[in-house]
C-alpha cells in the first residue's frame, strides 16, 4: 500500500536520483553549518624540484568531515559550494588558514618556496585582491610566499574584473598557476593575454604517459611552450619512480604526487620542509610592475 503510493508520488524519480538529491541537501546544510561554526581543515602536499633536491612549493588542500556523512571529498563539496555561493566564505577561510600556515612555515621572503592556494572564480567577484592584501598585511607575510591556482575556464572569457585582479596580484609578487592544465579549455589566446608563472600539467597526462607516446609528446611540448613563455611546469599526480624519471627527462621543473608525499598536516609538512631544504636559487620570480 505505502509502496504503491510512494511509487505514484515519485513517478519520475528513481531511488538513485532521490538519494542523490537527499545527499545534496545534506551537503548544503552541512556546509552552511561548517561556514558558521567551523569544521574545515587544511592539509599540505609537498612539491619537489624534479631532481629531487628541494621542496619548491606545497599545495594547500581543503578537508571537510560532515557530521553524519563523514569525510566528503573536495571534488564533491567544492562543486556544491560554488553553485550555492558558499565558496566565497569558504575560500576566505582557506586564505586565512593558508596565511596562518605560512606564519608557521616561515619561508624566506624571496619566492624560493611558495604555498599554492586554490581559488574559485566566484572569489574574484568578492574583491579577492583586497582580501589577500589585508591578510598579508595582518600576518606580515611577503606576497612572494603565495601562489594562486586558477583553472583554465576562468581565463577563457575573463571579465575585466578578473583581468585587473590577476595583473594586480602579479604586480604584488604573487605568482599565478594554471591548475589541471590541458583538461578543459586550453586556449593559446589566454596564454598570450596573461603572464602565467606556473602550468600544472594534469594527472591524466602523467597517468597515460608511460604507455601512450602521444601523451608523452604532449607533456614535452607543453613544457617547452611553458618555458618559452617564462613559466615553470609542475606535473600533478606522480605516483611511480618511472613517471618521475620520465617527467624529469622531459624537462618538467617540479613534481607533485603520492610518490613524493601525500597531503599532510601542517606540522608534518613543516618538518619535511626543513629536512628537505629549499632551492638555492629562487624560481623565476615575476618582475614587479610592468606586465
Ligand atoms: P587540485 O587542485 O588539482 O589538487 C590536486 C588533487 O590531486 C588533490 O585532491 C590531491 O590530493 C590529489 N593528488 C595529489 N597527488 C596525487 C596522486 O599521486 N594520485 C592521485 N590519485 N591523486 C593525487 P583533493 O585534495 O581531493 O582535491 C581535489 C580538488 O578539489 C583539487 O584539485 C581542487 O580543484 C579542489 N580543491 C581542494 N581544496 C580546495 C580549496 O581550498 N579551494 C578550492 N576552490 N578548491 C579546492
Ligand atoms: Mg590545485
Ligand atoms: Mg591540480
Ligand atoms: Mg588536478
- Reported as a single tens digit per residue, the pLDDT across 83-115 is 999 999 999 999 999 999 999 999 999 999 999
Q: Is 179 in the pocket of ligand 1 (CB under 6 A)?
A: yes
Q: Is the full-model pTM beyond 0.90?
A: yes
- Per-residue 3-state assignment (H helix, E strand, C coil) for 109-161: CCCCCEEEEECCHHHHHHCHHHHHHHHHHHHCCCHHHEEEEEEHHHHHCCCHH
Here the cell at position 246 is 620520465
Check whether 7 has a pLDDT greater than 80: no
Percent of the chain residues topping a pLDDT of 70: 92
Question: Measured in angstroms, how far is the CA atom of residue 179 from the centroid of ligand 4?
Answer: 6
Nearest C-alpha neighbor of 61 from the set 52, 71, 49, 51: 71
ipTM of the complex model: 0.98
- The two counts, helices (H) then strands (E), for the chain are 12, 9
Return the higher-pLDDT residue of 283 and 272.
272
Nearest C-alpha neighbor of 97 from the set 41, 175, 58, 150: 41
C-alpha span between 160 and 170 (Å, rounded): 15
Locate cell 607575510: which residue?
Answer: 141
Between β-strands 254-256 and 232-235, what pairing exists: parallel, antiparallel or unpaired? parallel
Question: Measured in angstroms, how far is the CA atom of residue 108 from the centroid of ligand 1?
Answer: 26
Check whether 126 has a pLDDT greater than 70: yes
Q: Is 76 in the pocket of ligand 1 (CB under 6 A)?
A: no
Q: Is 62 in the pocket of ligand 1 (CB under 6 A)?
A: yes
- Reported as a single tens digit per residue, the pLDDT across 155-169 is 988 899 999 999 999
Least confident of 29-43, 113-127, 185-199, 218-232: 185-199
Amino acid at each position: 500500500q505505502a509502496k504503491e503510493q510512494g511509487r505514484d508520488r515519485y513517478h519520475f524519480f528513481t531511488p538513485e536520483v532521490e538519494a542523490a538529491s537527499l545527499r545534496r541537501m545534506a551537503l548544503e546544510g552541512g556546509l552552511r553549518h561548517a561556514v558558521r561554526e567551523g569544521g574545515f581543515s587544511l592539509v599540505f602536499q609537498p612539491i619537489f624540484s624534479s631532481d629531487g633536491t628541494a621542496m619548491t612549493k606545497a599545495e594547500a588542500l581543503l578537508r571537510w568531515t560532515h557530521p553524519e556523512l563523514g569525510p566528503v571529498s573536495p571534488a564533491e563539496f567544492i562543486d556544491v559550494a560554488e553553485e550555492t555561493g558558499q565558496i566565497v566564505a569558504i575560500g576566505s577561510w582557506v586564505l586565512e588558514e593558508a596565511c596562518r600556515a605560512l606564519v608557521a612555515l616561515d619561508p624566506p621572503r624571496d619566492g624560493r618556496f611558495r604555498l599554492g592556494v586554490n581559488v574559485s572564480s566566484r572569489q574574484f567577484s568578492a574583491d579577492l585582491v583586497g582580501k589577500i592584501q589585508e591578510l598579508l598585511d595582518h600576518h606580515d607575510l611577503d606576497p612572494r610566499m603565495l601562489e594562486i591556482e586558477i583553472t583554465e575556464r576562468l581565463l577563457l572569457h575573463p571579465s575585466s574584473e578578473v583581468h585587473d585582479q590577476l595583473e594586480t596580484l602579479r604586480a604584488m609578487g604573487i605568482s599565478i598557476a594554471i591548475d589541471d592544465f590541458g583538461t578543459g579549455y586550453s586556449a593559446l589566446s589566454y596564454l598570450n593575454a596573461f603572464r602565467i608563472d606556473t602550468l600544472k600539467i594534469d594527472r591524466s597526462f602523467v597517468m597515460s604517459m608511460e604507455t601512450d607516446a602521444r601523451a608523452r609528446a604532449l607533456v614535452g611540448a607543453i613544457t617547452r611552450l611553458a618555458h618559452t613563455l617564462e613559466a615553470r611546469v609542475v606535473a600533478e599526480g606522480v605516483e611511480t619512480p618511472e613517471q618521475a624519471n620520465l617527467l624529469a627527462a622531459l624537462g618538467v621543473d617540479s613534481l607533485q604526487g603520492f610518490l613524493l608525499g601525500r597531503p599532510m598536516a601542517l606540522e608534518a609538512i613543516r618538518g619535511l620542509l626543513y629536512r628537505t631544504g629549499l632551492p638555492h636559487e629562487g624560481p623565476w620570480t615575476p618582475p614587479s610592475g610592468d606586465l
